[in-house]
Amino acid sequence: MSVLAHVFEAAGIATVVLSSVREMTVKVAPPRALHCEFPLGRPLGRPADPAFQHDVLARAFALLGATSGPVLVDYPEVVEADDQPVACVLPPRFDPSLPAAVDEARGLRKAYDRALARRGVSSVGRAVTADEVPLALSVLHAIANGQDWASAGIPGGNTISVCHDIRTYYEEAALELVNGPIPGGRAMEDWFFDRTEAGATMLAARAAIRDSGGKFPIWFYMTPGQR
């Protein structure tokens, strides 16, 4: 984002960057940046704390008044990462004739619908809708089990966006089921890939596409790089 800030500024559009890695921000030197020492994946700090989040945004937009730059300001409060594992009970198998991930995704639908009703918005929808998540998982299941990925009919033709939608569907549903505090981004990632059938299916499909000659980045960004 710091690099893009220079591009937008060159076109006459004023920018403010919310920095998560201070060393990188110093190196790239965007015109205006507010460094926030928050856990990665939480650019506004504390979840479910609108007052805190509005303060972060207010301090960021205040930098637009700077007459010269580059400007780098540190947010005055540090938010520590919460490394507690996600305590989320997954639904039991209902239809053993379906791939496990498909059955699992269907079982999470009511929790997803509750999340959507409570928040009024969802980040699912880059490539598939919530209705299409089970179908997308069935395609990934087929790829993981030998189906040629190029002819498998990946929804939207974009593996990265499909995987984003599946993960988002799961994470939004999980937030309706977790016990305890709202988990951090890395904890949700660990839960998805280590505990769910969908995560296991996604990893297996990614490996199958890679091993069958899929070009970078078709398979690489299906999951976080460290996976």
The confidence score (pLDDT) of residue 224 equals 85
Q: How large is the average pLDDT for residues 206-226?
A: 89
Per-residue exposure over 2-24, b if at least 16 CB sit within 10 Å of its own CB, e if not:
beebeeeeeeeeebbbbbbeeee
Return the pLDDT at 185: 64
Asked if residue 92 has pLDDT above 80, the reply is yes
Where do the DSSP E strands lie in the chain? 17-19, 32-35, 71-74
pTM score > 0.75 for this model? no
- Mean pLDDT over each residue of the chain, to the nearest integer: 91
Q: What pLDDT band is residue 143 in, cutting at 50, 70 and 90?
A: very high
Band (83; pLDDT cuts 50, 70, 90): low
Q: Render the burial of 70-97: b for 16+ CB within 10 Å, e for the rest.
A: bbbeebeeebeebeeebebebbeeeeee
25-58 per-residue burial string, b: 16 or more CB within 10 A, e: under 16: beebebbbbbbbebbeebbbbbbeeeeebebbee
- Average pLDDT of the segment spanning 108-114: 97
Taking the domains of the chain in order of start, what are their residue ranges?
Answer: 2-74, 100-222
Residue range 27-51: mean pLDDT, rounded? 89
How many whole angstroms separate alpha carbon 191 and alpha carbon 85? 7
Residue 143 near residue 149, CB atoms below 8 Å: yes
Per-residue pLDDT, averaged over 198-223, amounts to 93
